[in-house]
A and B are shown apart, each in its own frame.
Chain A
Amino acid sequence: MTLPWITGAVAVIIAAVVLVPIFSGQAPHVAGPGGIVGRVAPVFVLQDDRGAAVSLRQYRGRVVLMNLWATWCPPCREEMPDLQRLAARERASGLVVVGVDQGESAQRARDFARALDVRYPIWIDSGQLYGRAYAALGLPTTIIVNRRGVIVRGFDGPLTYQQMQAAVGPLLTQHKAP
């Protein structure tokens, strides 16, 4: 090999070493709750509307639909009866629906849920930890966590009953994790 060939080969290697770090790794990033799909669901210890300590860990091995809501949010109110219907119907299949109130007092959340005949667990997230961790763009926000604790779907805005069913149905038919 002659000197020009060696010089040329070295130049190509140098160009690769210098340029690759700059132009590589252009990872697309989805904003909002859809952008956290595939991550392990963050776990915060909160209190439910009766003051008991609660966390996602207690539902390990089950499919969890977490619905972030607040009493001042009209679309949240609209979808709560459908969430209750889904929770009652799919409980035996391993689905847990949890309503996570964002930033309000337990009394307010409890009274509101009772008025709507909501019987699924209501958690009180006074620090709005889940709202931030799930990159909520607004309320309601719905996150679906599979039996292994991994976020599989994230929705911004209210869902219809059919959308809820379509989102959790395939997960409920999967075998329970050991």
Chain B
Amino acid sequence: MKAFAYTVVALCVAVLIETVLPDRAVFHSGWYNVALLALIVALVLYARRALRSTEGPQTAALVAIALGAGILGFAGIVNGLFAPDPRTFVGAPGQEIALAEMGGVLAFPSIADSTTPELVRSHTPVVPVSRERYLGSFILRPIPRTVVRVDAYDANGAHLTVTQPTGSVFLSPVLMMESTQEISGLDLPFDSFALPAAHRIVKAVLFSAQQIAALRGVTGTPAPAVLFAVDDQADRPLPHAIRLARSGETIQAGGVRLRGVIATYPAVDVIAAPSLPAVIAGLVLVVGGAFLFLQQGARTRFRS
């Protein structure tokens, strides 16, 4: 009976931790799921042995406990083996990214309207991801990221189209800064864009205030800044076309004027977790069964 109880407790604890902290990679590892499977096999063996030594309502209670622990273990294994690893979806304002595992799309808002991404699925209400949301077997969590909104002008001050031929959204003036560039031993967020009308390609590197403070030759109060490097359309560097600009400051480089505004914009973490209905059902059966089992045991002792 003790071995059965220990196995049930082990399964419950493991799957509850998996439910509370689902973003840990260990839950998708082979050894963890083999261990869960071994616990389920042990549960079945010990349950059979325990059932032989009980009778009446205590048997029903043991069956409920075993069933509940089995549900929990099964939910844990299904999540570990079949659900996708945690992923971060970085979307540009206005972009929609398919979320096949949830049967919908993540709609990233236009900054002008709102800054809350939404999960849009057919036949169900739109779910705003303004805070951590638990949906079935998934958790959606907004993660703030630093992005740069650029405006570009020609020498006469006429506004220019910004395109991102290598980005996820072609016609977006918002740089998501997903890559990194190593400069002086620092890994710095990096992105690039094109100005087709001016035949220019511009690289943008983001510096934090602390990184600016560490740079030599930069005067004034340290503030976040963007380093713009302007190339021609064949990606050849132009002379005197590398300039550092504070957020909102307009600089002139390579025949164009550039302004970068540093802002915060959310990405969305999508984390698979054991099915919440299954976990609740399993827990109810284990706790209810344990209560019934102990109650029957006390009644039996009282009678004898």
Most buried by B among A10, A14, A135: A14
Q: Which B residues are CB-close (under 8 A) to A102?
A: 161, 171
Interface flags, A65-88, vs B, CB<8A=1, else 0: 000101111000000000000000
> What are the residues of chain A within 8 A of B105 when measuring CB–CB?
27, 29
A55 at the interface (CB under 8 A from B): no
Stretch of B93-101, B234-242, B245-253 on the interface side: B93-101
Give the chain B neighbours of A73 by CB distance below 8 A: 196
> B93 to A132, Cβ gap below 8 A?
yes
Indicate if the CB atoms of A127 and B100 lie closer than 8 Å.
no
A1 to chain B, nearest CB (A): 14
- Min CB–CB distance B278 → chain A (angstroms): 5
Looking at the complex, which of B20-28, B70-78, B219-227 is the stretch in contact with chain A? B70-78
What are the residues of chain B within 8 A of A15 when measuring CB–CB? Answer: 74
* Complex CA distance for A138 and B75, rounded to whole angstroms: 45
Docked complex: A1-56 residues within 8 A CB-CB of B: 3, 7, 10-11, 14-15, 17-19, 21-27, 29, 35-36, 42, 44
Number of interface residues of A (CB under 8 A): 44
Q: Which residues of B contact A103 (CB under 8 A)?
A: 159-162, 171, 173
B100 to chain A, nearest CB (A): 5
Q: Complex Cα distance A126/B101, Å? A: 36
Segment 94-147 of B: residues with Cβ below 8 Å from A? 94-96, 98, 100-105, 110, 112, 121-122, 136-137
* B102 to A: closest C-beta gap in Å: 6
Map CB proximity to A onto B255-279 as digits: 1 under 8 Å, 0 otherwise.
Answer: 0000000000000000010110110
A27 pairs with B173, CB closer than 8 A: no
Which one, B83, B100, B170, B274, contacts A138 given CB within 8 A?
Answer: B170
User: Do A133 and B160 touch (CB < 8 A)?
Assistant: no
- Which residues of the other chain, B, contact A25 by a CB distance below 8 angstroms? 100-104, 121
The smallest C-beta distance from B164 to any residue of chain A, in angstroms, reads 10
A126 to B259: give the CA distance in the assembly, Å. Answer: 14
A176 to chain B, nearest CB (A): 28
B158 contacts A27, CB within 8 Å? no
Residues in A with CB closer than 8 Å to B298 are none
**CB distance A108 to B158 under 8 Å?**
yes
Partner of B173, one of A21, A42, A105, A127: A127
- Segment 143-173 of B: residues with Cβ below 8 Å from A: 158-162, 169-173
Docked pose: A104 CA to B197 CA in angstroms: 9
Q: Is A107 an interface residue (CB 8 A)?
A: yes
B67 within 8 A of A: yes
- CB distance B78 to A129 under 8 Å? no
**Separation in Å of the B166 CB from the closest CB of chain A?**
13
Given contacts A10-B67, A71-B197, A136-B171, is CB(A18)–CB(B75) below 8 Å?
yes
Measured between alpha carbons, how far is A127 from B152 in the docked complex, in Å? 11
Q: Which of A18, A42, A104, A139 has a CB less than 8 Å from the CB of B74?
A: A18
Contact surface of A with B, Cβ cutoff 8 Å: 3, 7, 10-11, 14-15, 17-19, 21-27, 29, 35-36, 42, 44, 68, 70-73, 102-105, 107-108, 126-129, 131-133, 135-139
Task: Give 11 new A-B contacts, CB below 8 A, not counting A21-B137, A127-B112.
Answer: A18-B278, A22-B137, A23-B82, A25-B100, A27-B103, A36-B96, A72-B161, A103-B161, A104-B161, A132-B94, A132-B171
- Measured CB to CB, the residues of B under 8 A from A are 63, 67, 70-71, 74-75, 78-79, 82-83, 92-96, 98, 100-105, 110, 112, 121-122, 136-137, 158-162, 169-173, 196-197, 272, 274-275, 277-278, 281
Q: List 30 A-B contacts (CB under 8 A).
A: A10-B67, A14-B70, A14-B74, A18-B74, A18-B274, A18-B275, A19-B78, A22-B82, A23-B82, A25-B100, A25-B102, A29-B96, A68-B171, A70-B196, A72-B197, A103-B162, A104-B161, A104-B197, A105-B159, A108-B158, A127-B173, A128-B162, A128-B171, A129-B110, A129-B112, A131-B172, A132-B171, A135-B96, A136-B170, A138-B170
